[in-house]
């Protein structure tokens, strides 16, 4: 699905990704984890073409992404911070994104699911953080693309919405889609993901299932396993 | 690109500032016509206002729009849209709405006054075309500054400095160098110096067309002597096009390399 080879990226003197190789197979939920500043968002943004890598090759579904933009049709992206143009109304924003992407969409179902009807005519600048995140989720899930990238999808969500989000992810998984998630909430990761990708200092430190991670670190729960992974000498 | 243009344009058309800008020109047009009672004279006064004001407003509007639409840009970057389309669309949206404010704001009073019956219609059209060029040039310059500076305060500062330099300081330096080097032949130098400043270039262009030798000044006189009126018009128009196209080209190149 996604193939990354020798990816390097520096911001000024700060080396964020160093010679990263990663292969993400088709189907399943992949959780990209790592401490703050380990390069998770940079990795995701490189795949999306928002960050231009210094070195390395990335291909999405067999297509190299360099100087290419059409491959983004196959990706739905949920950004980490829900920043929207403030003077647009929720309805207008959804209509605009639909107009720009020109695909089948099922936003009505998602709007009802997250109870967003009362906010449709409100301006985005007046919404609370959690409501913005719900709009964000609607925008990311309303198209039926084979690859979903969710950067911190749980931020600001109330418990009911969190349950809906998990259901949505499970639903997408059943459709054999590939889902890439970053999160710091281990309980959420343990519930939804199949494969853990652990980033440390700009490189892949571990890639495998949760069970493999637990045996490797000799821990019984994921949170402790992740916390102790960096101190375990074994390296994949 | 046209979709982005459409959304940027609608976004701006709904903004209060577009109307303020439009109403300002409307008022200016009516007041000048009322005071001068003569279309040709009003055009000369307008020229002096346009040449300073259009660059200032375009620069500030351009830079504010770019920084304010950062979120919108980031949202678009993750969509299947070419990068150059995003930035060109936003640019033409801003420049287009500013140009419309200018053209309608000034056009309405002049048309009501009887522009079509007067022989100043070509002079007036040239004034609007020059105003449109200045809008295009200074908006793209401010977009370039904004794209190269993450820091808003810095970007804003550079943009205002750019305007101040081209509108005020440049002329001072130009004049001083003419005095300092008065022993030497300065025709070539002053021609080049005019070409390198879109504001001076516009002024010369309009004055050449209006054919008012008293207002031409030294550079205008050199321009006229060197190229004659028609060729002078053509060359200054060509330079204005270059001033527009080259920064747009840089905008496209830079936007392709930038990280978001």
pLDDT digits (tens, 9 = 90+) for A168-186: 999 999 988 999 999 888 8
Average pLDDT for B148-160: 94
Q: Which domain holds residue B89?
A: 2-257
Q: What percent of chain B has pLDDT over 70?
A: 98
Band (B12; pLDDT cuts 50, 70, 90): confident
Nearest alpha-carbon partner for B148 in B138, B158, B139, B135:
B158
Band (B56; pLDDT cuts 50, 70, 90): very high
Tracing tokens 């351009």 back to the chain, one arrives at: B62
Provide the whole-model pTM.
Answer: 0.87
Minimal CA separation from B12 to chain A, in Å = 10
Three-state DSSP class for residue A89: strand
Nearest alpha-carbon partner for B67 in B173, B147, B4:
B147
pLDDT at B228: 72
Q: Which domains does chain A have, with CATH numbers?
A: 2-229 (3.40.50.300)
Q: Does A103 touch chain B (CB under 8 A)?
A: no
Note the ipTM here: 0.82
Task: Give φ, ψ of B46 to 5 degrees.
Answer: -60, -40
Minimal CA separation from B134 to chain A, in Å = 28
The dihedral through the CA atoms of B40, B43, B47, B49 has a sign that is positive
- Give the pLDDT confidence of A183-196 residue by residue, as tens digits: 888 888 888 888 99
> What are the tokens at B216?
């031409």
Minimal CA separation from A97 to chain B, in Å = 8
Q: Does B211 touch chain A (CB under 8 A)?
A: no
Higher pLDDT, B137 or B258: B137
Average pLDDT for B22-27: 92
Question: Which chain A residues have a beta carbon less than 8 Å from that of B69?
Answer: 85
> What are the tokens at A149?
């990238």
Whether the predicted pLDDT of B27 surpasses 60? yes
Residues in chain B: 260
Whether the predicted pLDDT of B213 surpasses 70? no
Interchain contact, B257 vs A70, CB within 8 Å:
no
Whether the predicted pLDDT of B211 surpasses 80? no
> Cα separation of B14 and A198, whole Å?
47
Q: Which of A42, A46, A69 to mutate to test the interface with B (most CBs of B within 10 A)?
A: A69
- Give the pLDDT confidence of B249-260 residue by residue, as tens digits: 999 999 988 888
Interchain contact, B79 vs A87, CB within 8 Å:
no
Task: Give φ, ψ of B81 to 5 degrees.
Answer: -135, 145
Answer whether A177's CB lies under 8 Å from A194's CB: no
> Cα separation of B85 and A96, whole Å?
16
> Cα separation of B176 and B180, whole Å?
6
User: Bridge partners of A33?
Assistant: A198
Minimal CA separation from A76 to chain B, in Å = 8
> Cα separation of A94 and B247, whole Å?
33
Residue A69 has its nearest CB partner, among B15, B80, B257, at: B80
Q: Does A52 touch chain B (CB under 8 A)?
A: yes
Interchain contact, B260 vs A88, CB within 8 Å:
no
Answer whether A51's CB lies under 8 Å from A17's CB: no
Whether the predicted pLDDT of B127 surpasses 60? yes
Average pLDDT for B78-93: 90
Minimal CA separation from B26 to chain A, in Å = 27
Low-confidence ranges of chain A (pLDDT < 50): 236
Answer whether A121's CB lies under 8 Å from A91's CB: yes
- Give the pLDDT confidence of B222-249 residue by residue, as tens digits: 777 777 777 878 888 899 999 999 999 9
pLDDT at A232: 62
> Cα separation of A163 and A142, whole Å?
18
Give, in order, the Cα–Cα distances in Å from B43 to each of B22, B37, B115, B242.
18, 11, 11, 25
Q: Does B3 touch chain A (CB under 8 A)?
A: yes
pLDDT at B54: 94
Interchain contact, B15 vs A87, CB within 8 Å:
yes
- The DSSP call for residue A71 is G
The mean pLDDT value of chain B amounts to 87
pLDDT at A144: 86
pLDDT at B210: 79
> Cα separation of A59 and A65, whole Å?
5
Average pLDDT for B173-194: 85
What angle do the packed helices B152-164 and B39-68 form, to 10 degrees?
160
The total domain count for chain B is: 1
């Amino acid at each position: 699905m996604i193939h990354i080879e020798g990816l390097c990226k520096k911001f000024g003197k700060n080396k964020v990704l160093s010679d990263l190789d990663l292969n993400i197979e088709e189907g399943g939920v992949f959780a990209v984890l790592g401490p703050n500043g380990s390069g998770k968002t940079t990795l995701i943004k490189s795949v999306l073409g928002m960050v231009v890598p210094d070195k390395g090759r990335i291909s999405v579904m067999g297509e190299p992404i360099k100087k290419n933009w059409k491959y983004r049709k196959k990706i739905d992206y949920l950004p980490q911070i829900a920043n929207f143009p403030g003077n647009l109304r929720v309805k207008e924003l959804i209509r605009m994104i639909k107009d720009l992407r020109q695909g089948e969409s099922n936003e009505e179902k998602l709007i009802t699911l997250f109870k967003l009807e009362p906010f449709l005519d409100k301006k985005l600048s007046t919404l609370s953080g959690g409501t913005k995140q719900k709009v964000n989720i609607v925008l990311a899930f309303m198209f039926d693309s084979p690859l979903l990238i969710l950067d911190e999808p749980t931020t600001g969500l109330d418990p009911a919405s969190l349950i809906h989000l998990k259901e949505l992810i499970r639903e997408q998984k059943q459709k054999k889609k590939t889902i890439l998630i970053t999160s710091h909430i281990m309980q959420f990761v343990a519930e939804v993901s199949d494969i853990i990708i652990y980033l440390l200092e700009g490189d892949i430190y571990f890639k495998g299932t949760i069970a493999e991670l637990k045996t490797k670190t000799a821990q019984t729960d994921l949170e402790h396993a992740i916390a102790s992974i960096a101190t375990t000498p074994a390296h994949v | 690109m046209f979709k982005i243009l459409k959304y940027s344009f609608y976004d701006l058309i709904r903004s209060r500032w577009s109307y303020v800008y439009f109403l300002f020109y409307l008022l200016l047009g009516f007041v000048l016509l009322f005071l001068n009672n003569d279309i040709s004279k009003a055009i000369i006064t307008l020229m002096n206002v346009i040449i300073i004001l259009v660059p200032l407003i375009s620069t500030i509007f351009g830079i504010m729009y770019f920084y304010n639409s950062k979120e919108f840009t980031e949202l678009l970057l993750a969509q299947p849209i070419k990068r150059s389309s995003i930035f060109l669309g936003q640019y033409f949206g801003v420049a287009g709405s500013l140009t419309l404010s200018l053209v309608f704001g000034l056009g309405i009073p002049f048309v009501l006054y009887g522009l079509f019956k007067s022989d100043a219609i070509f002079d007036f059209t040239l004034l609007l075309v020059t105003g449109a060029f200045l809008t295009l040039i200074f908006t793209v310059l401010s977009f370039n500054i904004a794209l190269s500076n993450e820091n808003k305060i810095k970007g804003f500062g550079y943009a205002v400095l750019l305007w101040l330099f081209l509108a005020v300081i440049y002329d001072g330096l130009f004049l001083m160098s003419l005095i300092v080097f008065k022993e030497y032949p300065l025709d070539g130098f002053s021609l080049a110096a005019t070409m390198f400043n879109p504001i001076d270039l516009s002024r010369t262009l309009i004055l050449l067309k209006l054919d008012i030798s008293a207002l031409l000044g030294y550079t205008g006189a050199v321009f006229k002597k060197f190229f004659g009126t028609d060729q002078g018009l053509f060359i200054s128009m060509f330079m204005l096009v270059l001033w527009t196209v080259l920064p747009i080209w840089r905008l496209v190149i830079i936007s392709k390399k930038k990280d978001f």
